[in-house]
Chains A and B, each alone.
Chain A
C-alpha cells in the first residue's frame, strides 16, 4: 500500500476512534475529542511522513484546539 493510502486510512481509523469510541468509554467533551483528533493527526504525520498532506488541516486543528484550551483555562 502506498504511504499516502496508509496515512489516510490510519487517519480515518484514529479520527473514528476519537469521535465514537472515546465517548463510549466515558470520556466526554468536545475539546478532549478535538485534542485526540489533533494528537492522531500529528502522530500519524510524524510516523508516516507522507509527501502530500494538508498543512491547512493541521494548522486549523491546532488553532481550534488552542482556542478551546485557552477558553477552558481562562
Chain B
C-alpha cells in the first residue's frame, strides 16, 4: 500500500512537470491543460505532505519549486542574458575570460558593444567577482561555453538554494514542537510559493550566490549554538569572506544578523535577570537562566571579522561603495526590504492593465498577499507570546532578527529589490508563517492540518496561475495602482504604458519581467528594424525593448552609479520618439516563439 502511494505520487509529479514544461516550451496545448496539470501537481504535493514519507513530500515540493523556475528557461532561447544586471555581469565574465585575470575593469573598456552603454556598470560589477569566479571555474572544468556555463550555474544555484533552505528549516524545526505532518516540506512548500521567492525567475546575478552563502552561514551558526559544534567555525569564516567578495548588500545583511547575536550575547543575556520573569524565557535558555556560562562560542569575533573584511574590501577594491554610501546609505540598506511583500494596498485592476492579466488572478494574488501578511504577523506574535513552541533562545533571536530587519528596511521606503530579501530570509520567515499553524495544531490537530492544507493550496495555486497568466512575469508588478517604489524605487506610470498598449492595437502583447520595469512590448510588425546584433532572427509575435530614455543607468545617473533621481520613465512618452529611438540602435538579447527581446542601446 505504501509503495503504491509512493508510485502514484511520483507519477503525478512526473506527469504534471512534463505537461507544464512542455506547455512552456511549445505553447501548443490548450490553457486548460496547464491548469489541470497545475491542479494535479498541487493535489499530489499536498497529499504527499499530509500522508507520505519525508522523502516523498520533499520530492514533491522540490519538483514544484524547480518546474516553476525552469518554465522561464525552457521557453527562452538565450542569445545573451536579458535585463540589466545579468547582461552586465555576463560582460564582466567575458572580460575576465578574455584576460584570464580577475580585476577591476577599466571604465573606458567596452566589452559587448561600442556604445559605451556598459562601461561604468561593467566596472561596478567587476568589484564583486564571486559569481564570475564560480562560472569561470565551471566553464574550465566542464568545457562548456561561457553562456551555457552561466545558465547551468544559475539553475544549479536554484537547486543549491533549495538544499540549503531545506537543511536550515530542518535544523531549526528539529528543536521546535511541531505536530503537523512533514513540517519541513510544508514550510518549504509555503516559502517557495510565496511572492518574491517565486515570482521572478532567478538570473545570472551576484546576489544569488551571496544569498546561498549567507543561508549556509546561518545554518552553521545555528549548528554552533545548537550542537556546540565548533568545527564549523573555519567554514563559517570562509563563507563570511566569500560573502564579502560576492555581494555588497548581502554583506550588510550578514553583518546586521551577526549584530543581533552580538547584542543578544553581550547585552541582553547578561541583563536578562533584570527583565520581567515573563520576558526571560524569550531571551535565555534554561541553562542561561540557571547561570551556566561559556556554553556558546561568542560571535563577536566573527562580527568584527566581517566588519574589518568589509571595510578593507570596500575601501581598497570595491571603491564604488564609498561613493554609493556617500550618495544614499538609506537606499543601500533598504534594498533588501520586504516592502513589496508587506504591501497590501492593491487597487482594483483598471483600464489597460486589466487586459494584461485577468482580474480574477489579480484578486487571487491580492488575497494571497493578505493571507501572507496576516500569517506573518500571527507568526511573530506566536514566537513572542508562546515560548513553548520555539524553545531555543538563539532560534528566537534569529527569527526575530529576520522579522525585524526586513520590515525595518521596508519602512525606509528606499530601493527595494523584490526577490533579494525574501530569498535571503525566506526560510526563516517560512518558520514564522508556520508558527501559527503549529499553535492551532497543538490545540486542534485537525483544524491545524486543514489550515495548513488550505494555505499551501492557495499559495501554490497563486504562484502557478500568476506565473503563467503573466507569462513569466511577477504579476504583482503589473497591478494597477501598486506602489512603484516597492518595485524598484523608481517612479513609474503604468497608465502611460497601458495607453500605448491600446494604441498598438495588439493586446496580446505582454510586458516582460524586466526588473526595473522599464521595458515595453510591441508587435514585431510595427517595429522598423534597421540594425541587429547577434545571431537571432526575427520571430513573429511581440518584441520587447528597453526604451533608451526610460533606462536609468543609461542616462545622466550613470555618474552616480544609477541610484540618484530624478528618474522619470514614460514621462512625455510619444510613439514618434519611441520609433525613432528604436530605428537607430538596438541589440537583440533573446528570442522565443512568441516574443523577441531586444535592448535599445
A residues at B contact (CB < 8 Å): 29, 31-32, 35-36, 38-39, 42-43, 45-47, 49, 58, 62, 65-66, 69, 72-73
Contact = CB atoms under 8 A, between A and B. Distances in A.
B299 to A, nearest CB: 8
B263 interface: no
Secondary structure class of chain B's binding surface, majority of residues = helix
Interface string B311-339: 11001100000100000000000000000
A73 B233 CA distance: 31
A27 to B, nearest CB: 9
Which 4 pairs from chain A and chain B are nearest by CB?
Answer: A46-B301, A45-B301, A42-B305, A35-B312
Given A58-B304, A73-B315, 18 more contacts: A31-B315, A35-B308, A35-B311, A36-B312, A38-B308, A45-B301, A46-B237, A46-B299, A46-B305, A47-B230, A47-B237, A49-B301, A58-B301, A62-B308, A65-B308, A69-B312, A69-B315, A73-B322
A43 B532 CA distance: 52
A61 to B, nearest CB: 9
17 contacts: A32-B312, A32-B316, A35-B312, A39-B305, A39-B312, A42-B305, A42-B308, A46-B297, A46-B299, A49-B297, A49-B298, A58-B301, A58-B304, A65-B308, A65-B311, A66-B311, A73-B315
A73 B301 CA distance: 24
Interface string B203-244: 000000000000000000000000000100110110000000
B309 interface: yes
A36 to B, nearest CB: 8
Contacts of A72: 315
Interface of B: 230, 233-234, 236-237, 297-299, 301-302, 304-305, 307-309, 311-312, 315-316, 322
Contacts of B298: 49
Contacts of B315: 31, 69, 72-73
A66 B311 CA distance: 8
Contacts, number: 54
A35 B322 CA distance: 17
A46 B230 CA distance: 9
Nearest to A46: B301
A36 B241 CA distance: 12
A73 B326 CA distance: 10
A20 to B, nearest CB: 19
B127 to A, nearest CB: 16
B317 to A, nearest CB: 10
Most buried by A among B236, B298, B299, B308: B308
A69 B311 contact: yes
A62 B316 contact: no
B240 to A, nearest CB: 9
Contact of B234 (A31, A42, A47, A58): A47
Contacts of A36: 312
Contact of A46 (B302, B307, B309, B316): B302
Contacts of A43: 237, 301, 305
Contacts of A73: 315, 322
B308 A39 contact: yes
A39 B305 CA distance: 5
A46 B311 contact: no
B241 to A, nearest CB: 8
Contacts of B311: 35, 65-66, 69
A51 to B, nearest CB: 8
Contacts of A62: 304, 307-308
A62 B309 CA distance: 11
User: Considering residues B236, B237, B298, B311, which has the most beta carbons from chain A within 10 angstroms of its beta carbon?
Assistant: B311
A46 B312 CA distance: 19
Contacts of B234: 47
A22 to B, nearest CB: 12
A47 B237 CA distance: 8
